[in-house]
Structure 1
Amino acid sequence: MPYLTSAVLGAALLCFAYLGLRARRADGPLDDYVTARNSQSARSLGVSFLASGMGAWILFAPPEIGAMVGPLALAGYAIGSSLPFIVLSLYGPVIRRYLPEGRSIGEFAEACYGQGVRRWVTLVSILYMACFLAAELTAIGAIASLLSEVPSWLVVMGVAVATLVYTAVGGLRASLATDRWQGWLLLALLVLVVGVVIWVLPPLPENAEMPTAPSVNALSVALTLIIAVTAAELFHQGYWQRVWAAETNRALGRGALLGGAGVLLVIMAIGGLGMLAVMHGLPLGEPPIPFFALLAEAPSWLGVPALVLAVTLVASSVDTLQNAIASLVVAGSGRRGLSIGTARLVTVLLMLPVVVVALQELSVLRLFLIADLLCAATVVPVLLGVWHRMSSVAAMAGGVAGLVGAIVPGWVTQGSLMAGVQAASFPGGIPTLSPFLCALVASTLVSLLIAWCWPATRAPLSAKEARHDHA
């Protein structure tokens, strides 16, 4: 059985590598390598957003939230995961007009505020994506241990190397090409695995009750997840690459909405399995893993397609993250003359520390939450850059106010600054609403106040657009 599983996983990864390498442009410039500018239709973008937005985390987090907190918190998670795509559908076309030759959210920040804000935004974005990348590879190692006898390190290395081959060679076009296949494959495998699990379960016990938490607690968790996930994913460079990859503004808007709707439905469906596991009274494990508790009740042969599903989920997000981090580093260098060879070398080198961290099988949840909080403190000042009154002072002050706001709740309740810092670093990896909410509110209010009282002298967006259109 381990040999069969290894063969199936190897075949899947080889197929992804073949599809990615076939899509490369051997003679394309660096700009095409990192943006595939103006090349993707709405449907292609929609499937790509779905595939790159999914990951092995959907087999852990949504079922656990559904099982432990109930449908209200699950709805918050689903909304938080899909809301960034709605923001991109509305905000992306504005940024395309404002920065038609852009490559990253860092370049947008520089165009609005200058190099200082760009460096901060780039740092936050890379930190978030590196945590995401390490988490995905760690998760596939854990899933391999749960579902098969294949060594977890072998699966981690297999996914890392296979995706690195085609992203390093083919760039964003390779990632987009594999996303189209991975998106449909993961939907098909999800339907198969979920359908079989539900089919083999016995009827619900008469005393079965849907898991619920007190409304205040459930609402708090829902709001925390909406703020944390939305803010963090707006610093996902992979999504911003697709803003400039869209054929037109209309294609971007429709593609982002399609991807967001797909993410919403998938998370609600997979999270519902967690509630189903509780209603059937299954042992969830410690820490709770409801999806795999349900899988244990299914036929043993289902383990292979479930593992292929997990590998597909991880590959679809890892290849996006690999190219996204490399493109951010290349764009952040400020040197438009960089070669594709340099970009490929950056892609390879950035994966080395991530794979080392993933092989340690550490929990990266706390790092994830800290990175999410940095994003929540920064996201509004950055997005307000399209407002002509915003200045770099207002943006930086807003970001600092967001960080201070994150510390204030713990500082006030526990009576010391260090206690506030400790609370904002999420000891135990437990997300709480107050740091996220205060960071978001403080950064927004301070940015707006300074921009209103001391406006920038730069031209408004409409004037810049007019000059661009005239040119």
Structure 2
Amino acid sequence: MPYLTSAVLGAALLCFAYLGLRARRADGPLDDYVTARNSQGAQTLGLSFLASSMGAWILFAPPEIGAFVGPLALAGYAIGSSLPFIVLGLYGPAIRQRLPEGRSIGEFAEACYGVGVRRWVSLVSVAYMACFLAAELTAIGAIAALLSDVPPSLVVIGVALVTLLYTALGGLRASLATDRWQAWLLLVLLVLVGGVALWRLPEMPAGAALPSAPLGNSLSVALTLVIAVTAANLFHQGYWQRVWSARDDRALGQGAWLGAGICVVVVMLIGGLGMLAAMSGIALGEPPIPFFALLAEAPAWLALPALVLAVTLVASSVDTLQNGIASLVVADAGKPGLSIGGARLATVALMVPVVAVALQGYSVLRLFLIADLLCAAIVVPVLLGLWRRMSPLAAVAGGIAGMLGAVVPGWVASGSLSAGLLAASFPDSIPTLAPFLGALLASTLVSLLIAWRRPSHFSRMPRSAS
């Protein structure tokens, strides 16, 4: 069985590599390598948004939230997962108009506020994507250990190397090409694995009821997830690349709404499986993993398509992250910037520490939450950059206020600054609303106040007239 599993996983990865390499432009310029500028239609963008966002996390987080908190919190997770696409779909045309040759969120920040803000934004973006990469590769190692006898390190290295092969050689076009196929494959596999697991679910007890935490707790979790996931994903350079890869504004808008709509459905459905697992009374494991608890009740053969599903999920998100980090490094390298060879080398170099962390099997949830909080503290000042009154002072002050605002709730509650700092670092790896809400409100209020009182005279690109 280990040989069959290894062969199937190897075949899937080789197919992804073939699709990615076939789409590459061997003689294309660096700009095409990192943006595939003005080339992609709505369907490709929609499937790409879906595939690049649907990592292995959907097999863990939504089912657990559905099983223990209930449908309201799950809806918050689904909305938070899809809202960044909608924001970029609505906001993207203005970005494209004012920065038609742009390539990254860092360039957008510099055009709005200058080099200093660009460096900070780029650092946060890379830190978030590195955490995301480490989490995805760690997750596929854990899933391989759970569902097969294949050495987890072999799967981790295999996914990292194959995705690195086609993204380093093919750039964004390779990622977009594989995303289309990976999106359809993961939808088919989700239906197969989820359907068979549901079919073999034990009969519901007579008094079974939907999992439901108290309303206040459910609302708190839902709002936390909306803020955290939306803010973090708006610093995902892979999504920003797709703003400029869209054929036109209409394709960007339609693709964003398509990806967001399917994303909501997928998160709700797989979270619903977690709710059904909890209602059925089956043992959810320790720590609880409702989706995989369902597989324990299903036929043994289902483990193989479930593992292929996990590899597809991880490959589709990892290739986007790899290309996103490389494009951010290239865009921030100055003008004329790195060559394509330099971009490929940067992609390889950045993967070495990420794979090293993933092979340790650490829990990266706490790092994820800290990165999410950093994003929540500066996301509003960054997105306000197209408002003509915004200034570098307003953006920087808003970002600092956001970071202080994350600490204040714990500080006030405990009377201790150190306790406030500890609470904002999520010591129990549990997302809590107060730091995120404090960061978002403080950054927004301070940015708006300073922009209103001291409007900007800084201008590097045309701004909106309103």
Specify the TM-score bucket, using the shorter chain as the normaliser. over 0.9
What are the residue-to-residue correspondences of 1:160-179 with 2, within 5 Å? Answer: 160-179=160-179
Give the partner amino acid of 2:62. P
**Number of the residue aligned with 1:252:** 252
What are the residue-to-residue correspondences of 1:58-457 with 2, within 5 Å? Answer: 58-457=58-457
Give the partner amino acid of 2:34. V
Does structure 1 retain, via aligned residues, the 8 Å contact 2:42–2:255? yes
Give the partner amino acid of 1:440. L
CA distance in 2, matches of 1:298, 1:109: 50
Compute the displacement of 1:324 (Å). Answer: 0.3
CA distance in 2, matches of 1:79, 1:127: 23
Three-state SS of the structure 2 residue aligned to 1:336 is coil
CA distance in 2, matches of 1:335, 1:133: 28
Compute the displacement of 1:199 (Å). Answer: 1.3
Compute the displacement of 1:138 (Å). Answer: 0.1
CA offset digits 1:86-120 (Å, max 9, x no partner): 10110011100110000011100000000010000
Does structure 1 retain, via aligned residues, the 8 Å contact 2:388–2:464? no
**Number of the residue aligned with 2:6:** 6
The 1:320/1:255 distance shift into structure 2, 3 A limit, reads same
Does structure 1 retain, via aligned residues, the 8 Å contact 2:111–2:460? no
CA distance in 2, matches of 1:42, 1:340: 27
Does structure 2 retain, via aligned residues, the 8 Å contact 1:129–1:325? yes
CA distance in 1, matches of 2:59, 2:118: 34
Compute the displacement of 1:15 (Å). Answer: 0.4
CA offset digits 1:132-166 (Å, max 9, x no partner): 00000000000000100000000000000000000
CA offset digits 1:61-97 (Å, max 9, x no partner): 0000001101110000001101111101100111001
CA distance in 2, matches of 1:358, 1:330: 25
CA offset digits 1:15-51 (Å, max 9, x no partner): 0001101110000011000000001000000000000
Compute the displacement of 1:433 (Å). Answer: 0.1
Three-state SS of the structure 1 residue aligned to 2:266 is helix
CA offset digits 1:281-317 (Å, max 9, x no partner): 0111121100000010000000000000000000000
Give the partner amino acid of 1:240. W
Q: Is 2:43 aligned against 1:39?
A: no
Does structure 1 retain, via aligned residues, the 8 Å contact 2:387–2:463? no
Three-state SS of the structure 2 residue aligned to 1:238 is helix
CA distance in 2, matches of 1:452, 1:185: 50
CA distance in 2, matches of 1:201, 1:329: 48
Give the partner amino acid of 1:48. S
Does structure 1 retain, via aligned residues, the 8 Å contact 2:386–2:464? no
CA distance in 2, matches of 1:38, 1:427: 44
Compute the displacement of 1:202 (Å). Answer: 3.1
Three-state SS of the structure 2 residue aligned to 1:136 is helix
Compute the displacement of 1:340 (Å). Answer: 0.2
Compute the displacement of 1:210 (Å). Answer: 1.1
CA distance in 1, matches of 2:178, 2:358: 23
Please report the RMSD computed on the Cα atoms of aligned residues, expressed in angstroms: 1.1
Three-state SS of the structure 2 residue aligned to 1:284 is coil
Compute the displacement of 1:268 (Å). Answer: 0.2
Does structure 2 retain, via aligned residues, the 8 Å contact 1:128–1:368? yes
CA distance in 2, matches of 1:336, 1:142: 42
CA distance in 2, matches of 1:465, 1:58: 38
Gaps of 5+ in 1: 467-471
Compute the displacement of 1:458 (Å). Answer: 4.2
Give the partner amino acid of 1:323. N
Give the partner amino acid of 1:378. I
CA distance in 2, matches of 1:300, 1:101: 52
Compute the displacement of 1:335 (Å). Answer: 2.6
Three-state SS of the structure 2 residue aligned to 1:428 is coil
CA distance in 1, matches of 2:320, 2:193: 25
CA distance in 2, matches of 1:194, 1:464: 48
Three-state SS of the structure 1 residue aligned to 2:334 is coil
CA distance in 2, matches of 1:221, 1:342: 43
The 1:423/1:198 distance shift into structure 2, 3 A limit, reads same
CA distance in 2, matches of 1:337, 1:143: 39
| TM-score, reference length from structure 2 | 0.98
Does structure 1 retain, via aligned residues, the 8 Å contact 2:46–2:258? yes
Give the partner amino acid of 1:224. T
CA distance in 2, matches of 1:45, 1:19: 17
Give the partner amino acid of 2:372. D
Does structure 2 retain, via aligned residues, the 8 Å contact 1:388–1:460? no
**Number of the residue aligned with 1:469:** none
Does structure 1 retain, via aligned residues, the 8 Å contact 2:373–2:435? yes
**Number of the residue aligned with 1:29:** 29
CA distance in 2, matches of 1:447, 1:32: 35
The 1:358/1:459 distance shift into structure 2, 3 A limit, reads closer
CA distance in 2, matches of 1:192, 1:83: 27
Give the partner amino acid of 2:32. D
CA distance in 2, matches of 1:103, 1:460: 16
CA offset digits 1:313-356 (Å, max 9, x no partner): 00000000000001101111123242100000000000000000
CA distance in 1, matches of 2:277, 2:322: 35
Does structure 2 retain, via aligned residues, the 8 Å contact 1:97–1:465? no
Give the partner amino acid of 1:333. A
Compute the displacement of 1:248 (Å). Answer: 0.1
Range 282-291 or range 243-252, more displaced: 282-291
Three-state SS of the structure 2 residue aligned to 1:427 is coil
Compute the displacement of 1:172 (Å). Answer: 0.4
Give the partner amino acid of 1:200. R
Gaps of 5+ in 2: none
Does structure 1 retain, via aligned residues, the 8 Å contact 2:77–2:226? yes
CA offset digits 1:258-290 (Å, max 9, x no partner): 000011000000000110011100111121100
Give the partner amino acid of 1:47. L
CA distance in 1, matches of 2:360, 2:459: 51
Give the partner amino acid of 1:53. S
CA distance in 2, matches of 1:99, 1:288: 46
Does structure 2 retain, via aligned residues, the 8 Å contact 1:388–1:458? no
